[in-house]
Amino acid sequence: MPDRFDMLHLVGLLVVAGGLLLLVLTPQPEAGAMHGGRLDRAMEKQMLARARTDFLKQTYAPVVDLTASGEYAAALLKLKELGREYPGEPHGDILRGEILLAQQAWQPATASFVRGVKGNGDYVDAKSPLSRYESISRVVDEGLRQVGAQVKQHPDNSSLQETMRDLYYLQSRLAGGCE
Amino acid sequence: MKLSSFLITLLLLIALSLLAGCQPETERPTYTIGYMNCNSEAETIQRFQPLTRYLGEKLGVNFKLVPVDTQDFPERFKAGEFDFTHTNSLLYIILHKEAGLSLVATERRGEYGSRTAGAIISRKGSGIKTIDDMKGKRMLFGPQLAPSGFLAQYDLMLQAGFDPETDLSYYGIPHGSFKHEKVVYGVYFGAYDVAAAPALDLETMAAEGKIRADDFNIIGQSRIFPYCTFGAAKRLDTDLVNRFQRALLELTPEVTVELDGEVVKVLDGAWVDGFDQLVDSDYDPLREMARRANMPPYQEF
């Protein structure tokens, strides 16, 4: 005959089993919420990306304006000044690459583009609002032609070989290759 | 028995050859590197001691560091005082032409890597924005043999049809050390109307927060040309020069040497980002400038 203590155990077990059953059988209202959460996160991501793009465009606008008017020295100086506030920002590296390229400084220009692309792959993504696909393509095409010709003349020159490696890296990133 | 004596002799021979490889510093050959003073002798010694120690360790020879005044450099080099040289690019082309100095490696520093440029600046709000606006103004230059502090700007003006000798009311060169910074501050504080500032000094001062980009008008900037350069005397053994070059090109920011009980980063200590291997024709833009400005090594009286 079960005593009172056994009965207490039995009742406890029944309550737990009932609770579990209720949990299993109850329809999950979470499904909708999760879908909403995913949407929220996607939107949040997009908002952040847009805010970042706008911020970069606004912050670096003086550099872009100076570059557009051919004032490369002043543009580089402004970029240096901004570098104090935002050291290592890939957008600065990309702009620096464009300015140096306009001054025919192939080696530092290519190295700067490489730093920028390594810092943020959006610059080689044709669909990104930050995309520099076209200008980096031009750097690669022209660079391989010009630096390539120099390497043929001086095949043992390690500095030219380094620039060629940088150009091949950019070429591979443009083609969709990863790090 | 015979085998063990053979082995002992072999081991002794190996030990002796290893000991011969560890040549004590006093028995190593000594070579001299002449370093052109940029700002002061004390600064030159401080900057290049770690690099000189590194080169000595890497090549297994002794290197003596000699700080040299820019104006004295050609004469002392021609007298055979230095085996290797570290000078600005104008001194390199002078010594290359007049004494057969060969190119070893070019210093990499700043935005243009192993290149640099010279700029003409005025204070923002001065109304001086073009070379034409500089007529009748007072100008401050860097030292006369400075490619990015004198020659580049002088040539820039000549190319614009502006004769610095007659079109400026006055031009001068500051006394003492740190001439390039003095030139920038000369305009900043209004003592002069325009100045010849090396692009690298402007860049460094902006990065250090000493000046702001908006403080100045950049009236013009020269095309880029090679920066400070290591050269080798033609009497030196090619293998030694090649090893010297390789040691410079292989330098990375992590390389350290021990100096007076302290571990020092070689490149950081020398304020250098690295070294590039250029070819002599890369110096042609500077040669063209020197020809147009009637400056050494093409000066005609």
ipTM of the complex in this document: 0.83
Distance from CA of A79 to the nearest CA of B (A): 9
Instruction: List, for residues B220-250, the tens digit of each pLDDT value.
Output: 999 999 999 999 999 999 999 999 999 999 9
Residue from B171, B200, B197 nearest B185 by CA: B197
Tell whether A3 is covered by a domain.
no
Tell whether A79 is covered by a domain.
yes
Q: What is the pLDDT of residue A3?
A: 79
Q: Which CATH architecture has domain B27-110+226-292?
A: 3-Layer(aba) Sandwich (3.40)
Neighbours of B189 (CB within 10 A): 9
| A166 burial level (CB within 10 Å; 0-12, 13-18, 19+) | buried
Q: What is the pLDDT of residue A157?
A: 94
Q: Is the Cβ pair A100, B112 closer than 8 Å?
A: yes
Q: What is the pLDDT of residue A34?
A: 54
Q: Is the Cβ pair B249, A159 closer than 8 Å?
A: yes
Chain B CB contacts of A83 under 8 Å are: 207
CATH number of the domain that A163 lies in?
A: 1.25.40.10
Tell whether A10 is covered by a domain.
no
DSSP code for B132:
G
Q: How many domains does chain A have?
A: 1
Where chain B has pLDDT below 50, the residues are 1, 18-21
Chain B CB contacts of A159 under 8 Å are: 114, 249, 276-278
Chain B CB contacts of A96 under 8 Å are: 111
Tell whether A103 is covered by a domain.
yes
Long-range contact list for A149-158, CB < 8 A, 24+ apart?
A154/B279, A157/B277, A157/B279, A158/B249, A158/B277
Q: Is the Cβ pair B114, A107 closer than 8 Å?
A: yes
Alpha-carbon distance of B47 to B59, in angstroms, equals: 20
Preceding amide of B297 cis, omega within 30? yes
Q: Is the Cβ pair B221, A73 closer than 8 Å?
A: yes
The SS3 of residue B56 is helix
Q: Is the Cβ pair B119, A73 closer than 8 Å?
A: yes
What CATH number does domain B118-222 carry, 3.30.230.10, 3.40.190.10, 3.60.15.10, 3.30.2130.10? 3.40.190.10
DSSP H/E element including B68: strand B62-68
Look up tokens 């610095």; give the residue.
B164
Tell whether A145 is covered by a domain.
yes
Q: What is the pLDDT of residue A35?
A: 59
Q: Which residues of B68-90 are buried (b: 16+ CB within 10 A; e: fewer)?
A: bebeebbeebeeebbbbbbbbbb
Distance from CA of A31 to the nearest CA of B (A): 53
Q: Is the Cβ pair A107, B276 closer than 8 Å?
A: yes
Mutation site, A96, A103, A110, A159, interface B, largest B CB count within 10 A: A159
Residues of chain A in Cβ contact (below 8 Å) with chain B: 71-74, 76-78, 80-81, 83-84, 96, 100, 103-105, 107-108, 111, 154, 157-160
Parse chain B into domains and list their residue ranges: 27-110+226-292, 118-222
Mutation site, B153, B184, B276, B280, interface A, largest A CB count within 10 A: B276
The SS3 of residue A41 is helix
- What are residue B119's DSSP bridge partners? B197, B221
Beta strand pairing call for B115-116 and B225-226 = antiparallel
Q: Is the Cβ pair B203, A78 closer than 8 Å?
A: no
For A84, which of B113, B207, B216 is closest by C-beta distance? Answer: B207
For B206, which of A72, A77, A96 is closest by C-beta distance? Answer: A77
Alpha-carbon distance of B243 to B256, in angstroms, equals: 18
How do the pLDDT tens digits run along chain A, 179 residues long?
A: 667 778 888 888 888 888 888 877 776 655 555 556 666 888 888 899 899 999 999 999 999 999 999 999 999 999 999 999 999 999 999 999 999 999 989 899 999 999 999 999 999 999 999 999 998 999 999 999 999 999 999 999 999 999 999 999 999 999 987 66
Distance from CA of A138 to the nearest CA of B (A): 20
Chain B CB contacts of A160 under 8 Å are: 277
DSSP code for B172:
E
Q: What is the pLDDT of residue B15?
A: 55
Q: Is the Cβ pair A80, B207 closer than 8 Å?
A: yes
| Residues A136 and A130: beta-carbon distance below 8 Å | no
Asked whether this chain's domains B27-110+226-292 and B118-222 adopt the same fold, the reply is: yes
- Closest chain B CA to residue A153: B279
Chain B CB contacts of A100 under 8 Å are: 111-112
Residue numbers of the domain that contains A155 = 40-174
Q: What is the pLDDT of residue A6?
A: 82
Tell whether A24 is covered by a domain.
no
Q: What is the pLDDT of residue B1?
A: 46
Q: Is the Cβ pair A160, B114 closer than 8 Å?
A: no
Those residues with Cβ within 8 angstroms of residue A177's Cβ, 6 or more apart along the chain or in another chain:
none
Tell whether A77 is covered by a domain.
yes
User: Which tokens belong to A87?
Assistant: 């050291």
Tell whether A113 is covered by a domain.
yes
Alpha-carbon distance of B159 to B41, in angstroms, equals: 35
Chain A CB contacts of B114 under 8 Å are: 107, 159
| Residues A163 and A133: beta-carbon distance below 8 Å | no
- Residue pairs spanning A and B at CB distance below 8 A: 64
